[in-house]
Amino acid sequence: MYCSIPVEVFYDNTKVGFYIADIIVNNSVIIEAKAGEAICEEHEAQLTNYLRATDIEVGLLLNFGKKAEFKRKVFSVEYKNLKKPSS
């Protein structure tokens, strides 16, 4: 298990920066921890973007606010490799 590990982010095979994952377990699960009122769309979008930017397919969003809650996200590698249709 690794805490606060920088993860490189690429766009069209170009490194555009990095983000700091809260926890990565065995290079197979990203855990994003929050302490808000509730899980919101922005938190889910953040985790989905982290999954898109890495080879990791599974993410857990944990919220330790007033009421503990969690969401599990799966973003398969097969979808990561799809090209967007040209407009």
Q: Give me the DSSP letters along 36-57.
A: SSS--HHHHHHHHHHHHHSS--
The whole-model pTM stands at: 0.75
- pLDDT, residue 85, reads 47
The DSSP symbol for 67 reads S
Please, which residues have CB within 8 angstroms of residue 71's CB and are 6 or more apart in sequence? Answer: 39, 44, 47, 60, 61
Contacts of 54 (CB under 8 A, 6+ apart): 7, 30
**What average pLDDT does this structure show over 32-50?**
92
* pLDDT recorded at residue 87: 44
Which among 2, 8, 66, 65 is positioned nearest to 31, based on CA atoms?
A: 2
